[in-house]
A = this chain, B = another copy of it.
Amino acid sequence: MKDNLPEKKEREYIETGVPGFDKLFTHGIPKGSTVLVAGGTGSGKTNFCLQILAHHAAEGKKCYFMGFEESEERLIEHMEDFGWNPKELIKSGNLKIKRFLTSEIYYYDKKSGSDIQAMMTKEVDPLLMELEPLAISEETGFIPDFIILDSLSAVASTFIGKEQSYRFYVERLFRFFEKIGCTTFLITETKQIPELFSPTGVEEFLADGVLVFYNFRRENIRETAVEVIKMRGEKHQKKMVALKINDKGISVYPDVEVYGALEVK
């Protein structure tokens, strides 16, 4: 640790733009946090993240969606369905959506590249792990304020059988996000009622925050809910509350607690 301790900055918080969600916090999610967005299939994780990006891109922030699953066209369609004007945001230069192949990451070290993925790839090659990741800003001119990674599980899948490498890689990835100072949401794919919130269980300890999206069956009906498990440096509600998707996107109901037969976990 350096001798020159930084001056205490006034803490800044971000608003998600998701109605009701920010009321789960005293101030909001601390700016610059790395937050896991965990949940099962169909629980609304991706929509939640797109909604955050649309909100901030509309306010002039630089927003980058890095995905491995749906095509750019489909994601744009979903955003149009909710009336978020994704094409305008993209034209304005504030929103960038890009889909990757996991195999591209895996093979990428044999090629050259100049964006965040290049940084990632270096980590994949153990020889490059000693090197400090390149900052992405200088080369592309696009310094993201917000990054969505959909999903960290997809990244982890390129390390099948190389658990030690993944462990080191994910640590470097978290530090990279910390270094560039952006607020990051990392989607993780879990069971519907997860016991682990991340691919190996380690990422949830490295992350600053953990949000869990539930899509569980109570007898024959599925309900959706959201819960803040942790958020470093900020106080938050400790309850599972209702989440609904309507024509405008996701709304959270911080006062509608989801009771039920859920076992203690």
Contact = CB atoms under 8 A, between A and B. Distances in A.
Interface of A: 1, 5-6, 8, 11, 41-42, 68-74, 76-78, 80-81, 87, 90-91, 96-99, 101-103, 106-107, 129-130, 151, 153, 157-158, 160-161, 163-164, 167-168, 171-172, 175, 178, 189, 191-193, 195-197, 201-202, 204-208, 210, 215-225, 227, 229-230, 232-233, 235, 238-241, 245, 257-265
A41 B192 CA distance: 18
Contacts of A240: 217, 220-221
Given A80-B8, A257-B220, A189 B210 contact: no
Contacts of A74: 208, 232-233
A238 B221 CA distance: 6
Contacts of A97: 1
Given A11-B77, A157-B202, A221-B240, 4 more contacts: A77-B233, A106-B168, A216-B264, A217-B227
B98 A1 contact: yes
A14 B138 CA distance: 47
A41 B206 CA distance: 9
A102 B167 contact: yes
Nearest to A164: B160
A264 B262 contact: yes
Contact of A219 (B163, B192, B217, B260): B260
B77 A8 contact: yes
A245 B233 CA distance: 11
A217 B90 contact: no
A205 B171 contact: no
A41 B205 contact: yes
Given A1-B72, A80-B8, A164-B161, A151 B205 contact: yes
